[in-house]
Structure 1
Amino acid sequence: MKEADKDMAGWRVSPNLALNQQVEARQATGESIVHLGFGEARLPAFPPLVERLVAGAGRNSYGPVAGAQAVREAVAGYFTRRRLPTDASQVVIGPGSKPLLMALNLVVPGDVLLPKPAWNTYAPQAELAGKKAFHVPITAAAGGVPDPVALRETILAARALGRDPRIVIVTLPDNPTGTLAPAKLVREICTIAEQEDLLIISDEIYRDLVHDPSVSVVSPAEFAGPRTVVTTGLSKSLALGGWRIGAARFPAGPWGERIRDGVVSFASEVWSTVAGPMQEVASYAFAEPPEIRAYVEQAAQLHGTVARAVHQILVGAGASCRPPAGGFYVYPDFGPVRSRLALLGVTDSESLQRYLADEHGIVVLAGHLLGDDFGALRFKAATSMLYGSTPVQQLAALEASDPLRVPHISDVLTRLEEAFTKLCA
């Protein structure tokens, strides 16, 4: 094997995407699977968005790399309405937030600090950029933000090893735990970032899907604006994952301008510009006319109702699990029933994922794939995958006054309850 081939030997398809492809292949053969392993909003495209897509079909020129003025103004307005005054010059549009995050890794020097667990793309992106990712434990209260004490300890330990941590990534609300870090915790991270000269990347793609009325998102950009980049997109709030529309807000001032210019330079060599029809959609969606706001609110209510139902099932079976507050995830810990699971040969997150799939046809994403401890009995469950396999079923779930009484959702919840009760009995 040549040296270059050895360097590429560790490259793998992202585990959530690989898992989704495996499930689709199994379902195509007629297998009955409860798929909880993929973070897709799993709702039909909102008709006004489709109309905008069609209306933009004639936009076949390249256009500005950062995005057309109209769409950047719409995104600036979106952030401004969320207590983050923004000028269009601070905004860059990308084909999803994922490539924007990768661009930041390549433009901003230094190693990366992540919550533990975290979305499974953050660490591989850092590694592809030649960085080291340090996983920092989360608090008992919420995920998405590192524990402040552990963060300081990790920074000191990393520097002692000769590493140079310069970036901390937070997720508000969080993927994979479905929780939302409170303002006090966010402020503490901002204080550390100021003291240690860190750039904060705040992934707020789930921001508009908070479904717990007792909490609200407070962005680190409100406390540490000059050192915070905020990313977002339409994949989750408007169920447009396959359309690939993302945006980033850069800090005002020289440092933010340099980072933005670097990202635009990267974009010019990689994706050139976001597809014109998608910019047409984004201009409309980020402007948030009343019908968009109503749709997002309706979707958030559905996500919350189903996520809480799954949370109740898991806790009832013996798991420890933080209550979901936003998005469509739960992240149970079956440590409290470890001795019972050991009798089944389940001793770590990998064997737990495998046992659920083989014995119960329930597919989840094991915690170690998210940077968690391999020996922990934790996994991510994407509850949005329960809304149905067809647009008709998904629309019925969205429009129901009580989604839990929709037959196809009720049936799968019953199946989950029976499976987890049997697992932990």
Structure 2
Amino acid sequence: MTVSATLAANEAIAARRAAGQEVLALGFGEAGIPVHPLLSQRLVQAAGQIAYGPVAGIEPAREAAAGYWSRRGIPTDASQVLLGPGSKPLLFALLHAAEGEVVLPAPAWVSYAAQSHLLGREPIRVPVPDGEGGVPDAALMDAAVREARAAGRDPRIVVVTLPDNPTGRLASEESVQALCETARELDLVIVADEIYRDLVFKDVAFPSPAKWAPERTVTTTALSKNYALGGWRVGAARFPDSDLGRRLQESVRGIASEIWSSTPMPMQHAAAYAWSDPAELVERVAMARRLHGSVAKAVAEVFAAVGCEVRAPQGGFYVWPDFSPLRAVLAERWGATTSADLARVLLDEFGVVVIRGDAFGDAPEALTVRVAVTGIYGESDSERLAALVSNEPLEMPWIAEALEGLRDKLKALVS
């Protein structure tokens, strides 16, 4: 097991900057905006809370999380909620509790497969519907699961991401409904990672699997993306109100009791405030959504302009360009025939940090990379805050300069 590709990218960025080297940091998936002062105040006020809390989380935080989901069309009681120190440990505990092998969309966030491997299980990767992301194609999943079971394997869980990391795409209602029907037929638990839910760019009906398969869908979220609180480490899981849900919840609670005991108490108090959706924080998320959407779309256009295939991002802060149309020139000029080669050339020759596509389960020979756009929001909190509050973030001089620099580097790469 090696360090996660995304965290390794962050360390590489820091090392290069410490050495005085120029870096265009498009690798690490951090939200890139300053913490809201009201959230900082809540954390400071709770700093003296040092006792262990309940394994599942304190009641105010669980009630707030239940209200968060209920206001988004998924009625939830606090008894269905379990907190953890970030959504990653909750996801790992869920994979452990489900016991069987995991079905993943291809591509998918790097940690899903890594966590499966930590449990000694090889994930079953299923392509996503054409032009979409985050959800396996239902028909292909049906075939893959039946084939796996016929071969003696035991798939029991499917993980989906809405909207998706790494593609930035939001699966259609039709694809999610089809997946839910197939999961029910195959008796698969659905884990819906909705950590980017509040960062969908357009006001559209959100296709949460909990709407169509409420009895078997576990939904997870956290504060790391919409509020840029990645380092605070607090997340929540919502379990279905069913016998299956209660069994899973009790198993995850037992796992939590032996691994993290309880979520850090000060973080829970801050989370209780954030998940209550106060007006000031709702406005902050709206500004973040505008910033992410504007910059992600602009970055996608830069890649498209040099000949990449790239779908317009629909949520989060990622772009997923495919350099396949430029395969001949990349091979001839740089000897780049894989996504690993491409990422290496971008870093070594141009100082551009991206994550290679095969880290997300794409074929090694596919010339895809994941681009996290938040690295160009600014070098200081004052710059990042100015970009956040601006109605025209692309006009911020440092963002415009970064986009122009990226354009020049890509032209030099492929021309």
What interval of TM-score do these two structures reach, taking the shorter chain for normalisation?
Answer: over 0.9
Structure 2 partner of 1:240: 229
Question: What does residue range 373-384 of structure 1 map to in structure 2 within 5 Å?
Answer: 373-384=363-374
- Aligned pair count reads 414
Deviation at 1:420, TM superposition (A): 1.2
1:153 aligns with 2:143: yes
Is it true that 1:322 corresponds to 2:327 in the alignment?
no
Q: 1:221 aligns with which of 185, 197, 210?
A: 210
5+ long unaligned stretches in structure 2: none
Q: Distance in 2 between matches of 1:228 and 1:389?
A: 40
| Residue 265 (structure 2) pairs with residue 265 (structure 1) | no
Distance 1:206 1:216 in 2: 14
Work out whether 1:249 is the aligned partner of 2:238: yes
Q: Which residue of 1 aligns with 2:111?
A: 121
* Cα drift, residue 386 of structure 1: 1.1
AA of the residue aligned to 1:341: L
1:139 aligns with 2:122: no
Deviations 1:324-375 (A, max 9, x none): 0000001011111111111121111000000111111101000001111000
C-alpha contact 1:245 1:282 (8 A) present in aligned 2: yes
Once the two structures are TM-superposed, the CA of residue 424 in structure 1 deviates from its matched residue by: 2.1
TM-score by length of 1: 0.96
**Secondary structure of 1:121's partner?**
helix
Describe how 1:97-112 pairs up with structure 2 within 5 A. 97-112=87-102
Aligned equivalent of 2:354: 364
Given candidates 341, 344, 348, the residue that maps to 2:330 is 341
Paired position in structure 2 for 1:187: 177
Alignment-mate amino acid for residue 47 of structure 1 = P
The CA deviation at 1:109 is 1.5
Matches within 5 A, 1:294-309: 294-309=283-298
Bigger Cα displacement from structure 2, 52-61 vs 279-288:
52-61
Unaligned runs of at least 5 residues, structure 1:
1-10
Deviations 1:170-203 (A, max 9, x none): 0000000001001111000001001000000000
> Deviation at 1:422?
2.2
Question: Would you say 1:277 and 2:266 are equivalent positions?
Answer: yes
C-alpha distance in 2, partners of 1:282/1:186? Answer: 29
Q: Counterpart in 2 of 1:6?
A: none
Superposed displacement of residue 382, structure 1: 0.3
Distance 1:103 1:306 in 2: 35
1:278 is paired with a residue of what secondary structure?
helix
Q: Which residue of 2 aligns with 1:196?
A: 186
Find the aligned partners of 2:51 and 2:205 in 1 and give their Cα distance.
40
Which residue identity does 1:95 align to in structure 2?
P
- Alpha-carbon contact 1:173-1:217 (below 8 Å) kept: no
Q: Which residue of structure 1 aligns with residue 22 of structure 2? A: 32
Partners of 2:221 and 2:235 within 8 A in 1? yes
SS at match of 1:225: coil
1:162: how far off?
1.5
Kindly provide the CA deviation profile for residues 67-112 of structure 1, in whole angstroms up to 9, marking residues without a partner as x. Answer: 0111100000000011110010000011000000000111111110
Root-mean-square deviation (Å): 0.9
2:267 alignment partner AA: M
Distance of 1:417 and 1:154 partners within structure 2: 41
| SS, match of residue 343 in structure 1 | helix
Amino acid across the alignment from 2:259 = V
Shift in Å at residue 212 of structure 1? 2.8
State whether residues 129 and 175 of structure 2, in contact with CA within 8 Å, keep that contact through their aligned partners in structure 1.
Answer: no
Contact 1:212–1:304 at 8 Å: present in 2 too? no
SS in 2 for 1:178: coil
Q: Which runs of 4+ in 1 moved over 4 A?
A: none
Cα deviation, residue 378, structure 1: 0.1
**SS class of match (2:7):** helix
**2: CA distance between counterparts of 1:389 and 1:153?**
48
Distance 1:324 1:199 in 2: 28
Question: 3-state DSSP class of the match of 2:110?
Answer: coil
Map residues 20-59 of structure 1 onto 2, 5 A cutoff.
Answer: 20-59=10-49
Alignment of 1:5-16 (within 5 A): 11-16=1-6
User: 2:343 aligned with 1:353, yes or no?
Assistant: yes
Aligned to 1:165: 155
Instruction: Give, in angstroms, the shift of residue 161 of structure 1.
Output: 2.5
